[in-house]
Amino acid sequence: MKRLLTAIILAALAYSGWWIYASNALRSDVAGWFQDQRYAGLSASYSDLTVRGFPNRTDLTITDPFLEDADSQIGWQAPFLQILGLTYKKGHVIVAWPDTQIFTTDQRTIGVSSDGLRASVIHEDGTLIRSSLEATVLNLNSPDRSIAMAEVNAAIQRIETTAADYRVAISVGSFAASTPDVSTSIGPDSLASFRAELDLGLDQPITFDALSHQTPQPTRIAIHRSEVRYGAVTFRLDGQADLDAQGRASGEITVSADNWRDALETVRANGDFPSALSEGLIEMLTLLATLSGARDTLDVTLGLEQGTVFVGPIPIGQLPPLRWR
């Protein structure tokens, strides 16, 4: 009995020592990450690092985290950030955000309020393997606009056959904006649904060092089953494009819309479009819809050539380069 008791005590002491080692290593890694951001020229600080959860968990709380890039004037701050993990499940953590946080840009300050905003992250030696994010409510507020979203879900997973290709899925159950960019005659201020699924090719894998090192840049985008419903109108988008070193897209994108005719007729009747413009637009869309074989369903393939958008041989616009800082 004494031997058994001694063995139990020794095992408990050994496990306690391991937990202390793991918690100190986690605290040291996070402190080192903040230090690396400062070496990279960012403003990066916090007021406290605390690890709790003995014996099975290593739950890290970062108090008053602050990050800012002085060059781009992009910053983020929050009252806390939690990184929750299991001592026996290395490489899998849960990230939990507070109900309020603040993003800043060179043009505005954006307040973020949320309910249940958290993400699951699985990584291998700092390289992202897969992650999912969810929020019951996610609101963005700035001086000139407010955006409210509910049932927000997003996921990203590295495609196993490649090192830097990822599958991305995003869905929003409902969406409302204080100042919609489109005519309120088309539908309500809320989106009935939104979803997007795409494959994203990058020039290098996503790592936790992306802020302090060269950010992975997109080289290819393939859009699948992406759909937005706004009132009576349903928009769909699919296609693929390759991106050059400047982020200019070349490929084909198909855009389709149901009930577009009724929506434009309502807009014209309410005077939201000039009569001449709306009539010309309806005539053009009618021709395109007729070519696709469905009078009330729009189905248009847009060609992309180094960022220039074409309908057939006719250029109609220019896409901005897709490059991440």
**How long, in residues, is the chain?**
325
pLDDT over 90 at 77, yes or no: yes
Contact 288, 294 (CB under 8 A): no
Q: Are 172 and 191 in contact (CB under 8 A)?
A: yes
Q: What would the pLDDT profile of 177-230 be if each residue is shown by its tens digit?
A: 765 444 444 444 455 678 999 999 998 898 877 655 678 899 999 998 888 877
* Alpha-carbon torsion (148, 325, 117, 193), positive or negative: positive
CB 236 within 8 A of CB 226: yes
Asked if residue 72 lies in contact with residue 80, where contact means CB atoms within 8 angstroms, the answer is: no
More confident residue, 161 or 130: 130
What is the per-residue pLDDT across 139-163, written as a single tens digit (0 to 9) for each? 998 887 788 889 999 999 998 777 7
CB 137 within 8 A of CB 163: no
At 2, is the secondary structure helix, strand, or coil? helix
Distance in Å from the first CA to the final CA of the chain: 64
Burial of 274 (0-12, 13-18, 19+ CB in 10 A): exposed
pLDDT in tens, 278-288: 565 566 666 66
| Cβ contact 43:70 at 8 Å | yes
Q: What does the DSSP 8-state code read for residue 207?
A: B
Q: In whole angstroms, what is the distance from residue 209 CA to residue 1 CA?
A: 52
Q: What is the pLDDT of residue 259?
A: 73
Q: Looking at the DSSP assignment, which residues form a beta bridge with residue 233?
A: 230
Domain locations along the chain: 232-325
Cα 146 to Cα 111, 140, 168, 209, 300, distances in angstroms: 9, 6, 26, 32, 32
Of 78-87, 110-119, 253-262, give the lowest mean pLDDT range. Answer: 253-262
Task: Summarize pLDDT for 25-57 with one digit per residue, the tens.
Answer: 788 888 888 998 888 888 999 999 998 877 778
Q: With cut-offs at 50, 70 and 90, classify the pLDDT of residue 314.
A: confident
The structure tokens listed for 260 are 């577009």
* Phi and psi at residue 32, to the nearest 5°: -65, -35
State yes or no: cis peptide before 320, omega within 30 of 0: no
Please tell me the predicted confidence (pLDDT) of residue 283: 67
